[in-house]
Amino acid sequence: MLLQIIATMQVFTEPFVITGGGPEASTTTVLYLIYKYAFSYQNFGGACALSAMLLVLLSLFSAVYLWLTRTKD
């Protein structure tokens, strides 16, 4: 389950190729937003900040999930 959630948070290719963000940004994902900040808006600092926030969020979620599902010997 943990790997599936991490993989879901990292979806980029499908929305980018199929819809390009979609009408009214309905299919915008976190990675697509990071891409837009970096390469469309030339805001590399903002893209770096979003990447760091994604790293922290996934790390916290992983730590909590592993703590909750640990086995007690």
pLDDT by residue (tens digit) across 23-67? 888 888 999 999 999 999 999 999 999 999 999 999 999 999 999
Task: Supply the pTM of this predicted model.
Answer: 0.84
pLDDT score for 72: 82
Going from the C-alpha of 7 to that of each of 12, 37, 41, 55, the distances in angstroms are 10, 21, 26, 13
Q: What are the residue boundaries of the structural domains of the chain, listed by start?
A: 2-68
Q: Is 32 exposed, middle or buried (0-12, 13-18, 19+ CB in 10 A)?
A: buried
pLDDT in the model for residue 25? 85
